[in-house]
């Protein structure tokens, strides 16, 4: 059986602003817990004055 985790820019690692170094640190921190990146994508999220792109990372590990 597998379990999944989703990491987005709303996660505690980012403090609201995207930073590639913070993403790398977050991925490495989850890898230490046995999580593996399965997929990454961006999604347009509605916001005031239009929309913004948000990075989403999907992790998987054995339950």
User: Taking residues 23-33, what's their average pLDDT?
Assistant: 94
Does the pLDDT of residue 19 top 70, yes or no?
yes
- What pLDDT, on the 0 to 100 scale, is given for residue 28? 97
What are the boundaries of each domain within the chain? Answer: 2-62
> Is 9:57 a contact under the CB 8 Å cutoff?
no
d(CA 17, CA 55): 11
pLDDT tens-place string over residues 29-63? 999 999 999 999 998 878 787 877 788 999 999 99
* Distances 58 to 36, 40, 41, 49, 54 between C-alpha atoms, Å: 8, 6, 9, 28, 13
For the chain, the farthest-separated pair of C-alpha atoms sits apart, in whole angstroms, at 43
| Predicted structure pTM score | 0.80
């Amino acid at each position: 059986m597998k379990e999944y985790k989703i990491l987005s820019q709303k996660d505690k690692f980012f403090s609201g602003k995207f930073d590639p170094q913070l993403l790398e640190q977050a991925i490495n921190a989850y890898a230490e817990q046995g999580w593996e990146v399965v997929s990454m994508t961006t999604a347009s999220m509605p916001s005031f004055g239009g929309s913004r792109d948000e990075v989403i990372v999907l992790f998987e590990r054995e339950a």
